[in-house]
Amino acid sequence: MSAMKILLIEDEEDQREAFKEAVEVFNDDENNQGVEPDTAANLSEASNKIDGSYDGVIIDLVLGNDADGGNKIVRQLGDSFTRIPIIFVTAFPEDVVDHPSIIHTRRRSDGIYTSDLLLFQKIYDTGLTRIMGGRGLIEQRLNDVFLKNLLPQINTWISYAETDSERTEKALLRYALNHLIQFLEEDEKLCFPEEFYLYPSVLDRITTGSIVTADDQWFVVLSPACDLVPRGENGVLNTDHILLVEIESVEKILGGSKSKNRVSELSANRRTYYHWLPPTDFFQGGILNFRRLTTLDQDVFDGKFGKPTIQISPSFVKDIVSRFSSYYARQGQPDIDNKDFIDRYTT
């Protein structure tokens, strides 16, 4: 992997030198990811330098005579949609702006730059900045889609836009994302549990696969997707009832059993009426029980549950809906006396 590119925004020269020395020591350790350091001494220099090519930025709050200089940098990054993890090193941590891109804030006396570099390295090892950064994989793939898939068909999309520009823009976004997803379908390795969900939910309304909770009970919305699409100017759903399937705890389903085969059976979805929802840091997981169904009037549902915070990812929702439909579509037949048949071929 290439070296991490880290920018220090600091007005004091001795701190910039201390940072460079810390990088030299850090790079001498063969167990560490190499660091390509860069520095900026003031707000103007930082504004000219900073872009999406950095894997991390360390910022001092006070830059020269500007007591809010570091916060201005953060706002600038947010306004330009530049995706970079930020660490604040300052004597005034209580004055640092609250922003999701700030991953850590410390007093200058409470640590050293090496600890900041180690934190950036942990993030770098996940691939996050290489995927989402300005020189990341998403930008590379989007560029390929733009040049190879979208521009060659642009006349078709122009004709669509002449009728409905807003709808065309959304359709074009879906079209581009579908091409991005195809790049990932070649990877047949196991997924991590977090990939099963969208959290927090992107939409503020329910869709098929929304996870909702009330009174210590958890449910998954399994109403057909066509029923949950808002229609007309008022956004009215095409149904007056919401279909819910209960999520039961793994402990309840196991009933005290410690059998490894039983647990493996659950996680492999070998029972036709169960579907495993993997646990994560933000969701306890459980077992979706297709036999425990509830329908609620939409108004009752809205009053009880409100907006969903977790959504099952589309690729996993498809499998759940398919298994749910298959379970209730099974016909079955009367049992046939097969004793004579078995005896014929076994004796």
Residues with Cβ within 8 Å of residue 134, at least 6 apart in sequence: 51, 52, 53, 82, 83
Q: Which residue has the tokens 């977090």?
A: 194
**Pair 304, 239 in one domain:** yes
**Pair 146, 172 in one domain:** yes
Residue 170 domain flag: yes
pLDDT at 177: 87
Residue 334 domain flag: no
Q: Which pTM was predicted?
A: 0.74
Distance CA 305, CA 296 (A): 11
Q: Residue 230 carries which side chain, given as an amino acid letter?
A: P
pLDDT at 188: 61
Take residue 21 and report the two structure tokens written for it. 């020395």
Q: What is the 3-state secondary structure (H, E, C) of 275-299?
A: EEECCCCCCCCEEEEEEEEEEEEHH
Range of the domain at 251: 195-329
Reference 139, options 172, 184, 168, 180; nearest CA is 180
pLDDT at 135: 60
**Pair 49, 77 in one domain:** yes
Reference 129, options 195, 188, 85, 177; nearest CA is 85
Reference 60, options 22, 14, 27, 28; nearest CA is 14
Residue 343 domain flag: no
Question: 161 vs 1, 105, 151, 318, CA distance in Å?
Answer: 42, 46, 15, 31
pLDDT at 219: 98
**Pair 313, 199 in one domain:** yes
Residue 201 domain flag: yes
Question: How many domains are contained in the chain?
Answer: 3
**Pair 120, 162 in one domain:** no
pLDDT at 38: 97
Residue 220 domain flag: yes
**Pair 29, 128 in one domain:** yes
Q: Which of 184, 218, 253 is the last residue of a domain?
A: 184
Indicate the SS3 state at residue 165.
Answer: helix
CATH number, position 248: 2.30.30.110
**Pair 35, 18 in one domain:** yes
**Pair 116, 169 in one domain:** no
Residue 37 domain flag: yes
**Pair 98, 163 in one domain:** no
Residue 314 domain flag: yes
Distance CA 206, CA 222 (A): 10
Average pLDDT along the chain, 347 residues, taken 10 residues at a time = 90 96 93 92 92 92 94 92 92 95 94 95 89 72 84 89 90 88 72 94 93 96 92 80 97 93 95 97 97 95 92 95 93 82 86
Q: Is 105 exposed, middle or buried (0-12, 13-18, 19+ CB in 10 A)?
A: middle
pLDDT at 58: 98
**346: number of Cβ within 10 Å:** 6
Residue 346 domain flag: no
**Pair 174, 246 in one domain:** no
**Pair 223, 321 in one domain:** yes
Q: Which residues pair with 236 in a beta bridge?
A: 231
pLDDT at 251: 96
**Pair 251, 220 in one domain:** yes
pLDDT at 128: 86
Sign of the alpha-carbon dihedral angle for 102, 108, 111, 115: positive
Question: 50 vs 74, 84, 301, CA distance in Å?
Answer: 11, 10, 47
pLDDT at 182: 80
